[in-house]
Structure 1
Amino acid sequence: MENHKINSVQEIVPGLSIIHSNHLEDLRKVAAGWIKAHPLKVLETEQFIVQSNGMAQWLKLALADDDGCGISAGLEVHLPGRYVWTAYRSVLGNDSIPVDSPYDRDRLVWRFFRLLPLLSEEEAFLPLNRFLEHDEDQRKQYQLACHLADLYDQYQVYRADWLEDWSKGKDRLKTGRGEPVELPLEHKWQAQLWRRLKNDIPTQFQEIGRADLHQRFLRQIAQMDHRPDTLPPRVMVFGISSLPQQVLETLHAVSRLCQVLLFVHNPCRHFWADIIEDRDLLRIEHARHRSKDSMPDPLDPELLHQHANPLLAAWGKQGRDYIGLLYGYDEPDTYQQQFAQIDLFDDFIAPGTNGSLLQQVQQAILDLVPLPGEKEDKQQVTEDDLSISFQLAHSRQREVEILQDQLLHCFETIEGLNPRDVIVMTPDIEAYAPHIEAVFGNLAFHDSRFIPFTIADKPGRESVPLLKALEKLLHLPDSRMAVSDLMDLLEVPAFRNRFGVKEADLPKLHQWIKGAGISWGLNPDQRTGFGLPPGLEQNTWEFGLKRMLLGYAVGKAQEWNGIEPYDEVGGLEAALIGPLAAVIEQMESLWKILSRPGSPEQWCLRIRSLAKNCFLPEESRDRLIFNRLDEVLDNWLDACSQAELDRELTLAVVRDFFLGMIIQSSISQRFLAGMVNFGTLMPMRAIPFKVVCLLGMNDKEFPRSHPPLDFDLMAQKGLYRPGDRSRREDDRYLFLEALLSAREKFYISYVGRDVRDNSPRMPSVMVGQLRDYISAGWSLENCGDDDNEKNTLIDQLTCIHPLQPFGSAYFLKTQPRLFTYAHEWRSSLEVKESGIIEDSLEKTLFDEILNLGSLIRFVKNPVKYFFNQRLSIYFDQIRVVSQDQEPFVLDALAPFGLGNQLLEAGLSADPAQMQNAVLKEAERLTRTGELPMAGFGLLAAQQLSEPVMLMLKHHQALLSKWPLKCDPMEISIPLDPERSLVTALDDWLDRLYQTDSPDALPRFGRWEFYPKSILDKKGNVLRIYCLIPLWIRHVSGCAQGINLASFLVAPDGIASLDPLEPAKAMEILMTLIEQFWTGLTRPLAVTARTGIAYVDALMTKDAQTAKSKALKTYEGDGFQSKGELGYDPYLQRAFPDFDALWQARDNSFERLCQTLYKPLVNAVRKEA
């Protein structure tokens, strides 16, 4: 740009130059051009002061560009506080001023920590002592020390005059107008604590706090005629939105000897300091920028809205204070001849154009334009202008999904837009990072919808597994050390490497851990810390390891010293026991060491030992963490030594401090990496981008709430000063910066609808202000002035999205602004709302033979069998029995699992020894950890044994009729090729017994066991569906020609199935097999429990009553029973209600019930 040419100057002239612009890119050009035109001497370095790493990166990239200096080298970038301390040392002498001040926040924490217990006897500090009551683990003491260190650190920067008075014994404050006021009685302890703190610091360092050094620095530099070599010749302050008075005084003083250039982002070309509250505190005697011609002087606050821009007035307080403070040091006459222009205010709207809505809003702020007084004065916006848009979602996940679609649309419609031109900011990136990874990271690189992205400010523990493992280990004394805790550690590569465990070994280890009965607790001693009585070893790691080692030594053998061997450990894989034992041994050692308090020196040794013994880093990222770990410990030890802290610290204090430091230092700072940038809204993160997106602009979440401490005197009424930091004011100015930094599109997203009831939810108050401002100042082109049309523009800019990404509105194209690039969801519209799958698949042969197991699974649940076998879909909620909890009570499936083990033990014993065998098996189960401990185990064993003993009694009764046990018989039944895709049903029939008497009994008997009640009070079979496996095998045996009676043995009795004629059995079997092949082409509209209930009711009731019975069985009664549908996700997908089941396939339900289940019901009810 021509007006940015810089007049060449041959030397580095000291002085303070302040350059204002509403475009950061223009300021950047001036800075790069100035450096290029006025290079420093060889080996001298350029000094930059910025407010964020993102701004530093943006500057470096510009300097390295061909349009800049062509290279970015010889630069030092400082944050304001660090530069000021460096300046103090340069002027006052590096020898007399240490690198780190004892008044630094990190040093003050540990000095306060040591001092606080010493104040307990002094009445003046009673408010502090009350807070420290009941502080068993020193955490209250540490937290209070941190708060006090933060507070006095802020006082040193923003209220140095208070501290100076307190040091002199004057317990008073000064207002923003310089008026002294008495320090309130309830806060007098703050002045006393400051004096106590200073007296505690060694004499030679008492006067080197920033409050003291600042005045010494100002006096010393005022007497200097030449720049010391340690003070850099030039410093550039770039793009900072706020600086304390103390820093500005330092820069102004340095400018006597050095060249200081401040590049200020100013949103308005006019003087605007008097449009915001507390304007009288600035005491601006002269300002470089003129007031707007139409602005009255003085300005009546009541008429403010008629002359000022509402957005600038509402959000600009922080920038107003900063620019107002700068006016006190600005002398443009001394430097403006060195520049072609010092006020680089360029219009947002190009000459001869109307500009977009975004540009018009930005221009109104630049020109300090108030809202129009009349409707006809509103500016016009075209219908296709979406340069500012509001996207309403139902959740954070939906916000990110919508953003992805909107960005893809932007890349298609905005010419020249690249991923690096987009920034997405949110108040809390930690809350959004998982959703961003899930949505943007879910697409393959070769997918046309893939958008490269990077997440800055992501907490280290979320992206670095080693940090999560380190945190878990430091919580070991408070941890139950459950199975999941150890498996989480073994998922971390650096932890596995230390113990020689490979990732491929984890499934086997997990299998052994589960089989050995381990739940939680390293050993009985650790468990006592959780209130358990001593000696409870069962289900601990020590218990499981003993079982594994004994099992490896003796295999499947008898118990030894009360230890039941776990015999699965063997072969070459047994070598894994060594690393597992080493891990547990290390955990036990750490548990003992970390449980004891220690001095800072001891804690440094312990943490370094922990890191060395538990981790072997191989990745560069992990090695960097280890380097940072050493650095943090060294700095901490130095701080504790300087604070003379020699008392013992608890793990809670050390852990809070150490993890906070190590995690903060590992936060990802990847920014401007050539991708879409995701990050946290922070000062000067609002670098110019073509597209600026804000997520999470929700009410009560932005501006972020950060209430001051109750004893923060700076926050007291009447004590505010220009330049004071406020999180809420910071956020307001951040929002203004974000709005002004967008060049093509400003995108705002928030959760505007409740995910449960779709009720409206309010956005951030700032979003509401922006919407109101647009409504009041703009209208749609060619839109009438009717009051009913007043929200038309806002409606045009606002898009309310469906609850789900597969909402039909995205695909019906009735609303052009609703669209999605997720074409995978389109298929969801092709499924009828009922959920019924109408189409059939072709019959396909999966196996060469058909066995009884497949047929049983089909008859028990035809719908599930179709989804599993034909579609390879498994909806079952995998039953995860948490290994982190030892068993206390038996679950619903225990009779089928543990109970079956007791039953098998009884069946294997001689009749006289059955009861004893069951009891011994129960004792064995207790030793394996499968039954609860102590009295709970005895009760559980009794609950399992009672039904088993009843079933064994019924078993004995059946044996009296069929005493001879037979070998399994082969079932090989030829099948009709017209009705089956295979030629034979092949399987084996076991559990057969034979009679030895020539009476009328069938020759063979066969029975199975069911551990729950199956009969009603009258002795009739109540749970007919439990007989399905027995029935299928019974029919197959009879079809084979076996004279077979079958029985289902339950604790409350026996259900029997009489022999069938082979021809009849063969017809039943062929009908089932025919339906089996049909059931592989589509889900059959029938279920076992409902179908059997329907058929059973039809035998004694009318059709309507039977249908009502089926309805209740399927859907439940709405109270105690959820019905068959409530427990089966396959039915929920295929037939979501009884009407869908009843009406499917031309009401095939009745026919299928008769076909599949009526023969079984007839057989049970003894009907012909």
Structure 2
Amino acid sequence: MACEEILTPGLSMIHANHLEDLRQVVVEWIRRRPLKPLENELIIVQSNGMAQWLKLALAENDGCGIAAAVEIELPARFLWNAYRAVLGTETIPRESPYDKDRLTWRLLQLLPSLLKEDCFVPLARYLSDDHELRKRYQLACHLADLFDQYQVYRADWLEDWTGGLDRIRNAGGEAVEIPEKQIWQAELWRRIQLSIPPNQRGNSRSSLHRRFLKVAEALTQRPAALPRRVIVFGICSLPRQALETLHAVSRHSQVMVFVHNPCRHFWADIIEDRDLLRIERPRHPRKSQMPRDLNPELLHQHVNPLLAAWGKQGRDYMGLLYGYDRPEAYRENFAEIDLFRDVAPDGCKSALLAQVQQAILDLRPLPASSENRQCIDSRDDSIRFHLAHSRQREVEILQDQLLSFFAGIPDLEPRDIIVMTPDIDIYAPHIAAVFGNIRLRDARYIPFTIADSPERAGVPMLQALDKLLHLPDSRMTVSDVMDLLDVPAFRGRFGLSEVDLPGLRQWIEGSGIRWGLSAEQRMGFGLPAGLEQNTWRFGLRRMLLGYAVGAGKPWQGIEPFDEVGGLEAALVGPLAAMLETLERHWRVLAQPASAEDWYRRILDLSKDCFLPVDGFERLVQGRVEAVLEKWLSACRDAGLEEALPLTVAREAFLGAMRDSGVSQRFLAGMVNFCTLMPMRAIPFKVVCLLGMNDGQYPRSRPPLDFDLMAGPGAYRPGDRSRREDDRYLFLEALLSAREKLYISYIGRSIRDNSEQMPSVLVAQFRDYLKAGWRPEEDPSDGPDPANRETGTALLDHLTCVHPLQPFSRAYFLPDRDPGLFTYAHEWREILDSRTAPIPGVPLPGDLSAPGIEAGLQLIDLIRFLKNPVRIFFNQRLKVYFDEVLSASDDQEPFALDRLAPFNLGGQLLAAGLAAEPDKCREAVYEEAKRLRRTGSLPLNAFGELAAAELSDPVLRMIHHHRYLSDTWPDAAAAMEIRLMVQNPRPAENSPGVSIPDLEDWLDGLRRPDSGQPERYARWEFYCNEIMNSRGEVSRLTALPGTWVRHLAGCARGISLTSYLVAPDGVAELGPLDRERAEKWLAEIISHRDSGLMQPLPVTAKTALAYLAVLHSDHSKDSPDVNLRKAVDAAREAYQGDGFNSFGELGHSLYLSRTFPDFSAIWQVDGSRFHHLATSLYAPLLQAVRVMRFEE
């Protein structure tokens, strides 16, 4: 039952080196001395993670059984509430006008009126040429943060400045004049006070603190709003102002401070600036045999070097606590007030980690000589250093190491492991990629959670809102809009579903949309007016007209996009509504506005563009409204009336969302990944530190040039420093590990494997270990004194250098380093299957013969002849590499790509061939205009040049076609091809197998007008040049399709002449006798069968280049010289010349996967390549001839 009289007022301080011991005391104290019903227990912590850890203990059965009526506060909020409780809630508002967020907007409003005064010349110089208020806003943020720090750590300075005294005081209270260049700070503080309403001017933290102390001292009874009990748990640093407040509150309330102290002895005098603390009555005894006046040069002989190097922040805190600690007043209330527990009771028999922690606890220095180093078990792995080549490898290595911990440590659970990095945002993608890639049923699955990431990083709705707030700066590419449509809340607002997206994407691509909402929006990027082509408005108009008229004529310069039709046409409406909404908000966001207008704009943007689909998204939208309301309130209180540009409003809103929405999924029963931050020293069985790289930890945050607290002689005990914080964080991480400490850093360069240094803290730690310990079997114990002094054996024992790749053979060697192992069994399986690999061919061996294919078609043979290697991947392995080298969907065409002569030129050719002979030129030009209206050609004059570039070759082809049409005027019916060809050379591994039937149709046949039915012709078009300067067919790779159909027709028994019509001439294939055609067709089919069992070392371009030189009629060289030239030509065709040409290899992922260089395809002596080239392509080379046409 609650009992009020047992809550004796006073200030108690309990010290312990184990945080769990302090937690147990807190739980027991609350359980035995509960407050009244409905009275909240107030606990002050410095992080939500620490609060969660404490609540879990209260809720356990051996604790209180429930964690209800527990109010958790951060120190700053407690101080403000204490001021209000003592000074009166009627006079002190809930929010101070001097709070950082309110002060920012007050400064933004105030600064312009000051810049003309001589005092503020430095600010005026900085703020010159600031058209978008960005510099003024950033300066206001920095100044607000600085004055916020002054209110907490330099209240006496502000008191002097308020009184008109332009001076600052050092830690000893001595006053000195403010440097002349910084005198503006005192005047600015006075101007800030004058800008605040008179009834609130005295509500700065520094002024309120002074008034609070005076009123609290005169109080005779506890104010009702002041809590009866205050528990301060596990905080490692508090400013003097906070301790003064706690001391004043303790006159009427029970205040208990639970201190995590790494050392049982007095240690406040082992670090620099110890004279500033003025400790008269230290709580803890001085270590025996330690001199009272320590000589800094002899410090290493008496103290622990890690505590001396990393403990400055904790030393300051302990020193400040000693000034208010009177243990004789409360000692009788506790069984013990110093709960220091030995970590390594067995001495040198304990684990190395425990010995290090014990040395810190006892303030033990390093041994005076290397012979006195302590010996550790050679199997001790309580501390390990892992060196990787990249962050990705760090995380991959960590996964394997954690799996080994689970296998080797009894009762280890995921919640017993914490992994900390200097910046979790950098590591989060790698963590998700490695740990998130393991399925739940996999034995390697490790549940994990990532804390401290900004909420919008994991909430698609907030990511989309961020993107929308950048509308005036965004090109609004296809990718940008499709990213928005991937967000359910966004597409739901416009009535679209996920199944609608593929169809929409096809329409967007087909209608020529690339970027820009409209021509007007494009003008914002410096483009001239009227460039509507390839914008969203351009594509939408094409869709709407296509729905109305189908494939009809253009209307007002708009070419209809006729694919919009049927039931799916209803999607155009939501798309139009979405684009109208985006354009409307683009216009609004681009204009400066007051804070109240920005509040409405951003709120309207959120409501117009998002329809929450579940409770979480509704919660997110509610948080957006709450953040906006808080921001508007701060602006109103600051009296801000100036119109703000989007850049300032956006940065303020997104910054507020980031600060208020940090994900706190900490202690969720999984492996915790988080950022190294204050008060993360919660004990875990396994503590892992990633990213401990030189220059990245301790994290560097240089002070502002005008920060007077960073000036010479201005330091005071308790001041915050990012680098000192990080040093103490590293010490806390070391002390919070119970069984293993895992430290990882990028110790090798990913480029050249050179050594890279770790963080200076890791280097100090390694030096400390090397000087204090040695393994049992240390080679340095040998006769060589140099080795004995270096003691490198221990670091070699504790360090594991990992290879660059996770699939390295080093992980699977029998005599590998014990630290090199992996649970990724898939790598072992792949390596085992490649014990004797063929160089350049990463395949285990030939596949079995393919099954008999009925009804083989001509296109199958054509695809094989064009790319024998690709057919193996596509048809046999069902693997497709995307090799389409097209322009990005986000860029309008600037020039014709290498496929344009075929895609766009083919359309021009079809239009010209369909027209009357005397109107074909007009038809081609009209079709070119149509292509421009579809957005397929570049803009303006570039489009005219491109149209001419396409039209001229097409007109020449039409001229050639007219000549052939005159020679072969009569169209013939399509002819069925049904052949059974006996394979003269059975496919490997399948002797005696007959080649399957070849079944297809041969169309496009023509006959002469002389009535000779046995003579036929057919032609195909190739919209690129095929001739060289000597009038020979040089682009033989254009002919495989024509060649295969020509062979099929001749094998059918007809007299067939085939033509390939190109802009610069016509290639002709004359009639072949049936037997020869069947033989060559059988060769192709036979090799295709082999090519389905393994990639054949031959390619069309390389083989034809080789054969062209080898069988050249112009060569006068000897056969050997001619062969070398042919090989050189083949090599250049395959690999390129190293300058302007990349060759076939550079354009084919299939070739780079199987034959990564020419030597791989040539295969020692080139005999197989020669045989395949001769069998497949020599007949084509022999059969082709040229027919020229004059213009």
TM-score range, shorter chain: over 0.9
User: Does residue 73 of structure 1 match 2:74?
Assistant: no
State the secondary structure of the residue aligned to 1:286.
coil
User: 2:378, 2:777 within 8 Å by CA — same for their partners in 1?
Assistant: no
User: Does residue 1075 of structure 1 match 2:1087?
Assistant: yes
Aligned partners of 1:863, 1:383: CA distance in 2, in Å? 54
State the secondary structure of the residue aligned to 1:500.
coil
Q: 2:914 aligns with which of 908, 918, 924?
A: 908
Instruction: In structure 2, give the amino acid aligned to 1:929.
Output: G
Q: 1:1136 aligns with which of 1156, 1161, 1166?
A: 1156
User: Does residue 1035 of structure 1 match 2:1047?
Assistant: yes
Aligned to 1:821: 823
User: 2:42, 2:71 within 8 Å by CA — same for their partners in 1?
Assistant: yes
Instruction: In structure 1, give the amino acid aligned to 2:830.
Output: S
Q: 1:696 aligns with which of 691, 710, 735?
A: 691
State the secondary structure of the residue aligned to 1:1049.
strand
Aligned to 2:112: 117
Aligned partners of 1:1038, 1:129: CA distance in 2, in Å? 89
Aligned to 2:745: 750
User: Does residue 774 of structure 1 match 2:769?
Assistant: yes
Instruction: In structure 2, give the amino acid aligned to 1:936.
Output: F
Shift of 1:629: 1.3
Structure 1 alignment gaps of length 5 or more: 1-7
User: 2:237, 2:313 within 8 Å by CA — same for their partners in 1?
Assistant: yes
Shift of 1:847: 4.9
After the TM superposition, which residues 1050-1129 of structure 1 pair with which residues of structure 2 at under 5 Å, given as runs?
A: 1050-1100=1062-1112, 1101-1102=1119-1120, 1103-1129=1123-1149
Could you give the per-residue CA deviations for residues 689-712 of structure 1, whole angstroms, max 9, x where no partner exists? Answer: 000001111111111111111111
Q: 1:349 aligns with which of 339, 344, 350?
A: 344
Shift of 1:878: 4.9
| Identical pairs, percent | 60
Aligned to 2:974: 968
Could you give the per-residue CA deviations for residues 58-95 of structure 1, whole angstroms, max 9, x where no partner exists? Answer: 00001111222121111100000000000000001111
User: 2:56, 2:67 within 8 Å by CA — same for their partners in 1?
Assistant: yes
- Once the two structures are overlaid, the 10-residue window that deviates more, 519-528 or 143-152, is 519-528
Instruction: In structure 2, give the amino acid aligned to 1:1119.
Output: F
User: Does residue 891 of structure 1 match 2:886?
Assistant: no
Could you give the per-residue CA deviations for residues 647-681 of structure 1, whole angstroms, max 9, x where no partner exists? Answer: 21111111100111123322211000000000000
Aligned partners of 1:877, 1:172: CA distance in 2, in Å? 71
Using a 3 Å threshold, how does the CA distance of structure 1 residues 752 and 385 change in structure 2: closer, same or farther? same
Q: 1:444 aligns with which of 429, 439, 442?
A: 439
Aligned partners of 1:574, 1:9: CA distance in 2, in Å? 75
Shift of 1:798: 0.9
Instruction: In structure 2, give the amino acid aligned to 1:202.
Output: P
State the secondary structure of the residue aligned to 1:529.
helix
Shift of 1:10: 6.1
Aligned-pair Cα RMSD in Å? 1.7
Aligned partners of 2:852, 2:111: CA distance in 1, in Å? 77
Aligned to 2:1189: none
Could you give the per-residue CA deviations for residues 219-239 of structure 1, whole angstroms, max 9, x where no partner exists? Answer: 101011211111001111011
Q: 1:1151 aligns with which of 1171, 1177, 1180?
A: 1171
Could you give the per-residue CA deviations for residues 483-527 of structure 1, whole angstroms, max 9, x where no partner exists? Answer: 111111111110111100000000101111111111112122212
Using a 3 Å threshold, how does the CA distance of structure 1 residues 962 and 1002 change in structure 2: closer, same or farther? farther
User: 1:861, 1:1088 within 8 Å by CA — same for their partners in 2?
Assistant: yes
Q: Count residues with an aligned counterpart.
A: 1158
Aligned to 2:1116: none
Using a 3 Å threshold, how does the CA distance of structure 1 residues 987 and 396 change in structure 2: closer, same or farther? same
Aligned partners of 2:351, 2:688: CA distance in 1, in Å? 17
User: 2:855, 2:997 within 8 Å by CA — same for their partners in 1?
Assistant: yes
Aligned to 2:1016: 1004
State the secondary structure of the residue aligned to 1:274.
coil
Instruction: In structure 1, give the amino acid aligned to 2:802.
Output: H
State the secondary structure of the residue aligned to 1:19.
strand
Could you give the per-residue CA deviations for residues 1059-1103 of structure 1, whole angstroms, max 9, x where no partner exists? Answer: 110111011111111111111111112111222222333224543
User: Does residue 928 of structure 1 match 2:934?
Assistant: yes
Aligned to 1:873: 879
Instruction: In structure 1, give the amino acid aligned to 2:1033.
Output: V
Aligned partners of 2:503, 2:131: CA distance in 1, in Å? 42
Runs of 4+ in structure 1 over 4 Å off = 977-982, 1144-1147
Shift of 1:980: 6.0
Aligned to 1:4: none
Shift of 1:1165: 6.4
After the TM superposition, which residues 448-487 of structure 1 pair with which residues of structure 2 at under 5 Å, given as runs?
A: 448-487=443-482
State the secondary structure of the residue aligned to 2:6.
coil
User: 1:850, 1:982 within 8 Å by CA — same for their partners in 2?
Assistant: no
Aligned to 1:3: none
Aligned partners of 1:1105, 1:98: CA distance in 2, in Å? 91
User: 2:973, 2:1005 within 8 Å by CA — same for their partners in 1?
Assistant: yes
Q: TM-score, normalised by structure 2?
A: 0.95
Aligned partners of 1:1160, 1:65: CA distance in 2, in Å? 84
Shift of 1:1121: 2.4
Shift of 1:1042: 2.1
Aligned to 2:1038: 1026
Aligned partners of 2:523, 2:22: CA distance in 1, in Å? 66
Shift of 1:968: 2.7
User: Does residue 156 of structure 1 match 2:158?
Assistant: no
User: 1:1085, 1:1144 within 8 Å by CA — same for their partners in 2?
Assistant: no
- Once the two structures are overlaid, the 10-residue window that deviates more, 567-576 or 285-294, is 285-294
After the TM superposition, which residues 396-407 of structure 1 pair with which residues of structure 2 at under 5 Å, given as runs?
A: 396-407=391-402
Aligned to 1:97: 92
Aligned to 1:33: 28
- Once the two structures are overlaid, the 10-residue window that deviates more, 868-877 or 582-591, is 868-877
Shift of 1:625: 1.3
Aligned partners of 2:1103, 2:473: CA distance in 1, in Å? 54
User: 2:883, 2:1148 within 8 Å by CA — same for their partners in 1?
Assistant: no
User: 2:87, 2:212 within 8 Å by CA — same for their partners in 1?
Assistant: yes
Q: 1:730 aligns with which of 725, 748, 756?
A: 725
Shift of 1:982: 6.1
Shift of 1:471: 0.8
User: Does residue 243 of structure 1 match 2:244?
Assistant: no
Shift of 1:883: 2.0
Instruction: In structure 2, give the amino acid aligned to 1:1097.
Output: V
Instruction: In structure 1, give the amino acid aligned to 2:1005.
Output: L
State the secondary structure of the residue aligned to 1:637.
helix
Using a 3 Å threshold, how does the CA distance of structure 1 residues 234 and 483 change in structure 2: closer, same or farther? same
Using a 3 Å threshold, how does the CA distance of structure 1 residues 1127 and 640 change in structure 2: closer, same or farther? same
Aligned partners of 1:562, 1:205: CA distance in 2, in Å? 66
User: Does residue 319 of structure 1 match 2:321?
Assistant: no
Shift of 1:721: 0.4
Using a 3 Å threshold, how does the CA distance of structure 1 residues 509 and 440 change in structure 2: closer, same or farther? same
Shift of 1:1008: 1.6
State the secondary structure of the residue aligned to 2:812.
helix
Aligned to 2:845: 839
Instruction: In structure 2, give the amino acid aligned to 1:1004.
Output: Y
Using a 3 Å threshold, how does the CA distance of structure 1 residues 921 and 235 change in structure 2: closer, same or farther? same
Shift of 1:846: 7.6
User: 1:425, 1:681 within 8 Å by CA — same for their partners in 2?
Assistant: yes
User: 2:883, 2:1147 within 8 Å by CA — same for their partners in 1?
Assistant: no
Shift of 1:9: 11
Shift of 1:44: 1.7
Shift of 1:808: 1.0
After the TM superposition, which residues 600-615 of structure 1 pair with which residues of structure 2 at under 5 Å, given as runs?
A: 600-615=595-610
Aligned partners of 2:65, 2:435: CA distance in 1, in Å? 34
State the secondary structure of the residue aligned to 2:42.
strand
Could you give the per-residue CA deviations for residues 1014-1061 of structure 1, whole angstroms, max 9, x where no partner exists? Answer: 222111121222211111111111111121111222222122111110
Aligned to 1:1048: 1060
- Once the two structures are overlaid, the 10-residue window that deviates more, 454-463 or 243-252, is 454-463
Instruction: In structure 2, give the amino acid aligned to 1:670.
Output: R
Aligned partners of 2:1183, 2:883: CA distance in 1, in Å? 34
